[in-house]
Structure 1
Amino acid sequence: MKSTKNFGLWALAWPIFIELFLQALLGMVDTIMVSRISDDAVAVVGLSGQLFNALTTLFMTIAGGAGILVAQKLGSKRGEDARTIAIMGFTSSLAIGLVISLLLYTQSHAIAGLLHVEDDLLPLWNVYVRNVGGGMFLLATIASLSTAIRNTGNTRAPMYTGIAMNVLHIFLNYVLIFGELGFPKWGLAGVTVSDNVCRFLAALVLLYVFVHSFERKIVLFDLKIFNPKLFREILKIGWPMGVNMAGWLFSQLAIFAFIAMLGAKELAARTYMNTMESFCFMLGYAVALAIQIRVAHLFGAARTREAYSEAFRALYIGLALVTSNALLLYAIGNSFLRVFTTDPDILAIGHSLLVLNLILQPAKMLNMGMNNSLSAVGDTRFTMVVAIVSMSLVATGCSYWFGLQAGWGLIGIYCCMIADEILRGVVVLFRWRGKKYLLRAKTETRPPSADSEAAALPG
């Protein structure tokens, strides 16, 4: 069984941060390399990335719910249940990923029509979506395995895997896009080959770690395991998380479609800003992911008072980190933008977005930190309802009205995104302070000592 020392906030957070940093660095290098192909290629990668993110919610519904339960079961000393849940999370996510891969590979042109992709972008779109989308089952494998491994307290293995794969990905991108070192010059198609090769190797490494992550080694025969009772527990937590995530990502996809209607320059500017913002928020996001694992483990162990206070401790740390990073990005952001493009219109738009980012990032941290804490204790339906209402009316509806109809453009859309994050963040903050789920002491996963612990909660 994993030692509880693996579930300390910083022990969990720093490997996650390193992994996220490398992913963001890879994203920046990818964007720079793709920008050398054309701004149209950047626009295709940006828009298709939103599509891929939206579709990942279909398997992250299972993987996310399973991950939280793995941490809870380990906290309550039910290692066999944790093992069974992790296996079901992996096999179910893989099955869903295979269906998504088939859909994207065969229907890329039809999907382009739904997203109003410009005709000039269609050749690049079909190459990228068919090839990268066809490998989505590999992403499903990586996501489910990484989530399960992290929730055992082992956040280092995904980090080390990420380091190796990112180095390889940058190398393959370089030689396959530009035809260096005797490799063929494939342009955007080279990026798709690089993506799938690296995902395949990462999946193999994580699978090896996964089978050794529990007291009893996972063998091939175990992949047939299916426990209906435990699977219902996964769905109980996971489906609202999946709807929440899907709502956010489809909202972002709609917003990207609105931006695409504004023009290719606005779409390219938003794509460049996405890359830079990922650096700005990664420390806070690492803390948010770590606190979800920690709160779930503490909740499973009936240490409810500590779970309550740890959520606020993580929030304060995260707010300090993302605010500092937003200020730093504002100071150096214009120079970074010139790494991607020299187009004066795109640079002007980017400068305005850097100012708004000073408000957006702390708002995202508040929302993410409190949402993850509530999810860790199983209070996922409330966050789902709040998210769907706010994202539908404020993020998406207002973005369309102010961004397109009122003529505020990309600035108006950004203001609506900020309003959505603030609204949701404040609502879930008050929900956590109400301690509804923490005060539910008598559950199947928690020992009788939970009653005295819950009664001692502050507030």
Structure 2
Amino acid sequence: MARKINKKDIGKMSLFALTWPLFIEILLHMLMGNADTLMLSQYSDNSVAAVGVSNQILSIVIVMFGFIATGTAILIAQHLGAKEQREAKEVAVVSILGNLLFGLVLSLVLYFYGRMFLQLMGIPAELMEDAYIYLVIVGGFSFVQAIVMTVGAIIRSYGFTKDSMYVTIGMNLLNVLGNYLFIFGAFGFPELGVKGVAISTIVSRVIGLGFLIWLMLRRVEGTFPFKRVFTLPFQHTKNLLTIGIPSAGEHLAYNTSQFFITYFITKIGTEALTAKVYTQNIMMFVMLFSIAISQGTQILIGHMIGARKYEDAYRRCLNSLKPAIIISLGAAIVVSIFSKQLLGIFTDNQAILSVSTTLIFLTILLEPGRSINLVVINSLRAAGDVRFPVYMGILSMWGVSVTISYVLGIHYGLGLIGVWISFIADEWLRGIIMLFRWKSRVWMNKTFMKQEEQPA
């Protein structure tokens, strides 16, 4: 039998120790998506745009899976902080089964209604078939991603962020190899284009899931009560939903707002849609610093809340803001300086290059606000304050981002520049409001753990 490894003392780990594996893992996840884009760009720009539209739909589905994964990460961290090992494992089992069932349902929906969703997006006729093929294959197996997200959240909550990183490295290598074989028909393999990218994505996820499950069973001390899954306390499911549904609501509001903004961009034209895909692929490398720091902060704060170390949690969030803002701003400046060279990797279309360069320059204004937003929202979630970010998110994303995108981008004809201005306004507004919320300390009374004493 594989040797079990005791859980780490997360409370004594530094933010850096937790964050650097998260950074590399997120980077590799982004590289997987960019590998698809880069390799498809050598095939055709239309294929890139088609996959970009399909991924806009798939990102909404991933958010739906994320509501259980988010609740899992927070509850396990809080239980571990409170030294409640049994309850932590029970939450893990309930979340795995819940996301599996949910994933199967959404996979069937995408498989049977994929074309209808693409038509609702207003996708150009020349992109429809490629987009449909990708959506049906990747979407039809999206339940695999649901379990990958859940098991990954469990492993990271126990402090084994490096293990999750190693699996992601392997998944990326397999994905790139599969892309090479199936896009271009190397070594006698069939030349499948977009279909090949979809197949490669699914195969790498299935293999990665197998390794994640093996690591979870090997690393965590004790056994998981899978045989008792239907007799476990209903309170775990209730808490998962109480945390997860509002958290998913915020992400869903963001992704549905992006859905409508993408619809606006399809009205501008295929070149604008392709420019958006290329620009956001590069922007993801800038924001990954803030994402990694926010996720590491969430794990630490979750454990601190479980241990009732509220003042430590308060300081941890504020201390995480400085590196998140400085690093992401610096990265945005560097990427802006070399934007033409970076975009040149994907395309030589001068119209796309011209607008994308301007959008990347605007990222310098965007990233500090997004950094504040990411770190503080994840901190609020870890403390159990999950509803306020949703209410403000819906108000800002739709009242600011979607509205300004249409007014500036379509009505006044600013195109993608108007869309990016709306992104800047949205991120800064939410970031400032969330920071005020954290400093108010209202979240100290929102924890889902049973409190024997109130915070000072």
Query: TM-score when scaled to structure 1?
Result: 0.95
Residue 258 of structure 1 deviates from its aligned partner by 1.1
Aligned to 2:26: 20
2: CA distance between counterparts of 1:213 and 1:115?
44
Residue 23 of structure 1 deviates from its aligned partner by 1.8
2: CA distance between counterparts of 1:127 and 1:440?
44
Residue 126 of structure 1 deviates from its aligned partner by 1.6
Residue 222 of structure 1 deviates from its aligned partner by 4.3
Comparing 52-61 with 159-168, which one deviates more in the overlay?
52-61
Aligned to 2:316: 310
Residue 278 of structure 1 deviates from its aligned partner by 1.2
**Counterparts of residues 382-421 of structure 1 (less than 5 Å):** 382-421=388-427
Residue 9 of structure 1 deviates from its aligned partner by 1.1
2: CA distance between counterparts of 1:91 and 1:322?
37
Aligned to 1:349: 355
1: CA distance between counterparts of 2:377 and 2:367?
15
Residue in structure 2 matching 1:2, options 7, 11, 14: 7
2: CA distance between counterparts of 1:286 and 1:57?
18
**Counterparts of residues 55-454 of structure 1 (less than 5 Å):** 55-218=61-224, 220-438=226-444, 444-446=449-451, 448=453, 451=454, 454=455
Residue 220 of structure 1 deviates from its aligned partner by 4.7
Contact preservation (8 Å) 1:403, 1:413: yes
Residue 311 of structure 1 deviates from its aligned partner by 0.4
Residue 218 of structure 1 deviates from its aligned partner by 2.3
| RMSD, aligned CA | 1.5
3-state SS of 2:160 partner: coil
Distance 1:239 1:427, change over 3 A: same
Residue 7 of structure 1 deviates from its aligned partner by 4.2
Residue 172 of structure 1 deviates from its aligned partner by 0.9
Aligned to 2:3: none
Distance 1:333 1:222, change over 3 A: farther
Distance 1:303 1:96, change over 3 A: same
1: CA distance between counterparts of 2:128 and 2:435?
44
2: CA distance between counterparts of 1:217 and 1:177?
43
Question: Which residue type is aligned with residue 216 of structure 2?
Answer: F
Contact preservation (8 Å) 1:295, 1:310: yes
2: CA distance between counterparts of 1:428 and 1:302?
22
1: CA distance between counterparts of 2:17 and 2:52?
33
3-state SS of 1:215 partner: coil
Contact preservation (8 Å) 2:15, 2:300: yes
Point out where structure 2 has 5 or more consecutive residues left out of the alignment: 1-5
Residue 62 of structure 1 deviates from its aligned partner by 1.4
Contact preservation (8 Å) 1:394, 1:419: yes
Distance 1:96 1:335, change over 3 A: same
Contact preservation (8 Å) 2:37, 2:48: yes
Comparing 4-13 with 390-399, which one deviates more in the overlay?
4-13
Contact preservation (8 Å) 1:79, 1:214: no
Residue 24 of structure 1 deviates from its aligned partner by 2.1
Contact preservation (8 Å) 2:93, 2:225: no
Distance 1:63 1:137, change over 3 A: same
1: CA distance between counterparts of 2:53 and 2:320?
32
Question: Which residue type is aligned with residue 419 of structure 1?
Answer: A
Residue 363 of structure 1 deviates from its aligned partner by 1.1
Contact preservation (8 Å) 2:137, 2:198: yes
Instruction: Tell me the alpha carbon deviations over residues 297-336 of structure 1, each in whole angstroms, 9 at most, x when there is no partner.
Output: 1111111111100101111110011011001101111101
Residue 444 of structure 1 deviates from its aligned partner by 4.0
3-state SS of 1:218 partner: coil
Point out where structure 1 has 5 or more consecutive residues left out of the alignment: none
Contact preservation (8 Å) 1:7, 1:297: no
Residue 211 of structure 1 deviates from its aligned partner by 2.6
2: CA distance between counterparts of 1:226 and 1:134?
30
2: CA distance between counterparts of 1:207 and 1:309?
34
Comparing 118-127 with 425-434, which one deviates more in the overlay?
118-127
Give yes or no for the alignment of 1:43 onto 2:43.
Answer: no
Contact preservation (8 Å) 2:283, 2:360: no
1: CA distance between counterparts of 2:227 and 2:81?
27
2: CA distance between counterparts of 1:182 and 1:192?
19
3-state SS of 2:442 partner: coil
2: CA distance between counterparts of 1:86 and 1:258?
40
2: CA distance between counterparts of 1:87 and 1:219?
7
Residue 433 of structure 1 deviates from its aligned partner by 0.2
2: CA distance between counterparts of 1:33 and 1:379?
42
Query: What fraction of aligned residue pairs are identical, expressed as a percent?
Result: 32
3-state SS of 2:70 partner: helix
1: CA distance between counterparts of 2:410 and 2:383?
40
